[in-house]
Amino acid sequence: MEHGLLAQIWPQIILPIVRLSFFITLGLFIANFIESLNWTHKLAFMVRPLLKAGRLSAVTGASFSVAFISGVSSNTMLAEAFDKGQMGRIELFLANLFNTVPRFFLHLPTVFFLTAPMIRTGAFFYVGLTFAAAILQTALVVVSGRLLLPPRDDSAALALPRQEKITWRDAFIKSFKRLKKRIGRVLLFMAPVYILFFLLNKYGLFTRLEEFIADQAWFLAWLNPHSLGIVVMQVTTEFSAGLAAASALLAENSLTNKEVVLALLVGNILSTPIRAIRHQLPYYAGIYSPQLALQLISVSQLARALCILLMMVGFYYLA
């Protein structure tokens, strides 16, 4: 067993940590570079009405825009702003939730082109409902910001303190200096957390947790019994396994499109939080403090599950 563990150190620990460190470093540099050039308020322009309605800052809008390209850079931008006092704790949580639509579009091609061949027209309902859940979450963030954040005038809400004109060369040098100050702390937290979660996964903690959830699914009695196989496959293995089960059941006419979509949504709600903590926490802990990283992921997954649940209930009664 020890030999097997040692054989996995390079491909499953060292290489992923190096890759993760590279993308976090790149994200830190991009965020610093954008801020050094004072581009933040320009990037926020595309969501200006939502920022104004939700009393959110330009940093939140810029993070939203950058999230379409890189989730690491987007989170790095938020962490930098929070550390420097440009946004409070409440806005940090809201800003993280606000980025759900960009995160959706980052995964959209993979999800759609995986679901469409397997469940055909059901793919449009599944993708459409998850997109509607992302839109609902964005709307709830705007409403929450309106209620929880202090009023700001337009200039304060959508602009950052003016900086002197700076050349690209100077911005590059400034960003590199700030990167050197922060990257050590990032790696100090990220690497141990990644190794810890690798060991927990290696010795079956997450597998047992997923199997426990699947075994205790008494609250899914309202589903067609055939649907439970989709849910169990999705929770205990991965999304594609649930899709394969759904495709087979559709081919046998054992389930309708509606029943398949409901089963996939249930599997999504049950499986995603565990996988989010397993895969996101290591790099979140490198960007934020470990405690704050866990809180951000937990709140994000809770909000996401609630919005998908609301869409699922509507689909169940109205479709």
| Region 3-17 average pLDDT | 68
- % pLDDT > 70, the chain: 73
**Average pLDDT of every residue of the chain:** 79
**In this predicted model, what pLDDT tens digit does every residue of 150-174 receive, in sequence order?**
987 654 444 444 445 566 677 677 7
For residue 252, how many other CB atoms are within 10 A of its CB? 9
Gap between the Cα atoms of 280 and 297, Å rounded: 8
Among the residue ranges 17-21, 140-144, 180-184, the one predicted with the least confidence is 180-184
pLDDT at 262: 93
pLDDT at 70: 77
pLDDT category at 4 given cuts 50, 70, 90 is low
| Region 127-131 average pLDDT | 95
| Residue of 319, 13, 69, 26 lying closest to 186 (CA atoms) | 26
pLDDT at 225 over 70: yes
pLDDT category at 128 given cuts 50, 70, 90 is very high
Question: Tokens 């989010």 — which residue?
Answer: 276
For the chain, give the number of residues: 319
What six digits make up the tokens of 308?
A: 């998908």
- Sequence-distant (≥ 6) Cβ neighbours of residue 234 within 8 angstroms: 241, 242, 263, 264, 267, 268, 270, 271
**In this predicted model, what pLDDT tens digit does every residue of 66-84 receive, in sequence order?**
888 778 888 988 998 999 8
Half-sphere exposure of 148 (CA within 13 A, CB side): 15
CA angle 92/96/99 to nearest 5° reads 140
Gap between the Cα atoms of 52 and 196, Å rounded: 41
**In this predicted model, what pLDDT tens digit does every residue of 249-266 receive, in sequence order?**
887 788 899 999 999 999
